[in-house]
Amino acid sequence: MSDLSGELIDGRYQLTRQVANGGMASVYEAIDTRLDRKVAVKIMHPHLAQDEAFVNRFIREAKAAAALSHPNVVAVQDQGWNQNGVPAVFIVMELIEGHTLRDYLNERGRFEIKDAINYLTPILSALSAAHDLGIVHRDIKPENILISKEGRVKIADFGLARGEIIGSTMTVESSVILGSVSYLSPEQVQRGVADSRSDVYAVGIVAFEMLTGEKPFLGDSPIQIAYMHVNQEIPSLRTKRREIPRTLDELIMKASNRDPDQRPRNAGEFLKALEAIQHEIDPKTNQMKLALDLPVEPIKEKPRPKATKEIVEEEEKSIEIIETSQEIKKLREKKKRASKRVRRNRKVALFLAVALGIGGWYTLVGPGSRVVVPSIVGGTYDEALSTLNPLGLTTVIIEKRFDEDISTGAIIESDPPGGGRIAAGGEVKLIISKGPERYTIPTLKGLTPKAARAAIGKYPLVIGANTEVFNRDIPQGYVITSDPVSGTQVKRDTTVSIVVSKGIETVALASYAGKSGEQALNELTDLGFSVESTYAFDEKVLSGAVISQKPTGVDVAPKGAVVTLIISKGSQYVFIPNVFSIEQVKATQVLQDLELKVVVKKLGSKKTKQVTNIVPKVGSKVKRGSTVTITVG
């Protein structure tokens, strides 16, 4: 955008110099000629003024700041469209003579802990007032925090603000995401949505930078930094600076938590917690109030170039003009001599006025009149009709086109574009959005590979390679699934690969009859079989060995099949051991270990009793579980 210094905006604001230039607008220092005071005038770049969405965002900035009456918010005084001279959409704000918080960070590196809290308090106080009104700033960063020469902290640039009292809002534009990515909350990066907790996150990141002198995440590109904000917690401040109080570290970590539910709900809650910590650090010091100005150390100004200084001095000298009586006399004589020329100029001026009048009639009322086409990009077709029909203009849809950014049914372009002129009764051509170009992956499960490729080929998608895997449910040679899976909506030229079944996987199956049951269980499980074990008495097979297995007599079996093992518990008979003269407790334990039931008969009064008789007699063969009676005395 060319420098507009010297222009008179809206017949009132005389632009004196350009003080800032951004991607959306330029800011000028200006004189309000009506009230004779300095102001700041923010003017949208002309190429964006044709876009209704950008104009709405620009106006929303004025509404958001104007809705707030707070000493720490840059006050908005006026907003409008320049009707005469250079076409311009503008906002008039109070002029803050000072520097941004970014300037202080660049010069200091990091703040003292008390100073950082003193700066954060008015920032949170201003945001608390905004949140109470339902307004969310959505673009808090050091560049949007101003510090005046008097030390007053001011929040600026409510261009992305949203809230019920200022109307609806757009999703965060990509240029803004890239420009402010170091302070965007994960939910803004992932879903493009924000609430008061998103402002809290941004202030947490600003606080981190003020206290440590560096941003929590650094990367080669904005996308890398955004990825880190979404997937990583910021490092503890105490790992960067040990003297930071633990309570302050925990508060900043909480405010910048990736999960919005874990943060303070709004700036008011954040402010209360910060003031409590401030009181803990220095109980004797009163809490800093937003009405007070901070003691500000001046930023070192860059030396003015010599050439500029000389020009200023020359301009100052040229103001001082001394007129002598002789020079005044000469001037009067010159005016007399020029009187004929003045009369001639008046005639020329009259002729030009008549010509301009006729031309104006021809252009505005007569046959040459043309209608200015309003901006309708982003609106619906019905909205375009309701806007254009009252102007006597007709519409025709010449194309419906896919668009990644414009929603279905909204207008992408108009011809003539917004701000262009067209003959009265003319026709405005429209291009309508079909929304993002997406195609749904068809259901391919159970089809042959050939049929699956044919189904994919009906769409502008790329057919990928086949992958074969074993599967118990899908027969060999048929499709199991696809990547991406069926039902997924994908962009044009997305590669779709299919997974084909190789049938059931088979595994070699050996016979484990007579072998250790433990060995059989481990080896069969490692091969992928499901093993079921049962136990039975057997007079021929040793205890713990496999009696039989199912299936048997086969070389291979499906992987995952059930293999049943019958494992021997040994003989079901035992022989009565000789436990004569053994103490009662030991004799009982020996018999119970043989799975026999023991009945004890006691005789005499000895304290330690020993076995004196046993029934059945020693050496008898009995079944496990039989009852044995011992007499002790």
Domains contained in the chain, CATH given: 8-94 (3.30.200.20), 99-281 (1.10.510.10), 370-433 (3.30.10.20), 439-501 (3.30.10.20), 506-568 (3.30.10.20), 573-632 (3.30.10.20)
What does R_g of the chain's alpha carbons equal in angstroms? 44
**Cα–Cα dist 558/550, whole Å:** 13
Q: How many residues does the chain have?
A: 633
**Cα–Cα dist 36/19, whole Å:** 20
Asked whether the bond before 551 is cis by omega within 30 degrees of 0, the reply is yes
Please list the alpha-helical segments (H only) found in 469-567: 517-526
Asked whether the bond before 46 is cis by omega within 30 degrees of 0, the reply is no
Could you confirm whether 139 is annotated as catalytic? Answer: yes
CB under 8 Å to 4, separation ≥6 — which residues? Answer: 15, 18, 26, 28, 43, 86, 88
What does DSSP say about strands 611-615 and 462-469: parallel, antiparallel, or unpaired? unpaired
**Cα–Cα dist 135/67, whole Å:** 9
Out of 139, 157, 403, 538, which one is annotated catalytic? 139
Task: Return the SS3 of 11.
Answer: coil
In this predicted structure, what is the pLDDT of residue 325?
Answer: 36
Termini Cα distance of the chain: 118
**Cα–Cα dist 240/229, whole Å:** 18
Parts of the chain with a pLDDT under 70: 1, 61, 64-65, 158-179, 284-369
| Encoded tokens for 175 | 């240029």
In this predicted structure, what is the pLDDT of residue 615?
Answer: 92
> CA 426 → CA 372, 415, 429, distances in Å?
11, 11, 10
What does DSSP say about strands 627-632 and 597-602: parallel, antiparallel, or unpaired? parallel
In this predicted structure, what is the pLDDT of residue 340?
Answer: 57
- The whole-model pTM stands at 0.47
**Cα–Cα dist 156/147, whole Å:** 11
Q: Are 460 and 413 in contact (CB under 8 A)?
A: no
